[in-house]
Amino acid sequence: MRSTTRRSSTDAVVHAIGQRVYVNRVGSGLAQVGLMNEQGTMPVGMLADGAEVMVVAWKPQGATGTRYRVRCTSDGLEGWLAAANLRRTRTAPPPVVPEPPAKPAAGSVAPAARDGKPRFGGR
């Protein structure tokens, strides 16, 4: 069994069959994720955020994203999850907070070009 994780050209995480990964709740709301049937129309169970599962199959879905068939390691329940509902660590990483842009020093003005007009991005 191969258990590597790699990045695809779209920068999405790709999980190998046989790899153990964890359920990832996306957004706020319930701390559980619905495990779906193959058609994605009916839930077959619910998994808690951070539950360990093993990837047993995958199915590319084009613009709607890849889905993975997973088996819960605690009770053997199987179903399908979207790629966004899987992560490599048991606990979710902290949210990334972007740094605010640096403010110009007080009284500074963007330099003017030689023709007297402000440069691109200047005021």
Average pLDDT, the chain: 81
* Ramachandran bin of 10, using left for φ above 0, alpha for ψ from -120 to 50, beta for the remaining angles: alpha
Q: What angle do CA 37, 40, 44 make, to 5 degrees?
A: 30
pLDDT tens-place string over residues 8-61: 444 567 899 999 999 998 877 678 899 999 988 999 999 999 999 999 999 988
Predicted pLDDT at 7: 46
Q: What fold characterizes domain 9-87? A: SH3 type barrels. (2.30.30)
The yes-or-no verdict on residue 91 having pLDDT over 80 is yes
Predicted pLDDT at 107: 63
- What percentage of the chain has pLDDT greater than the value 90? 46
pLDDT band at residue 114 using 50, 70 and 90 as cut-offs: low
Most confident segment among 1-10, 56-65, 105-114: 56-65
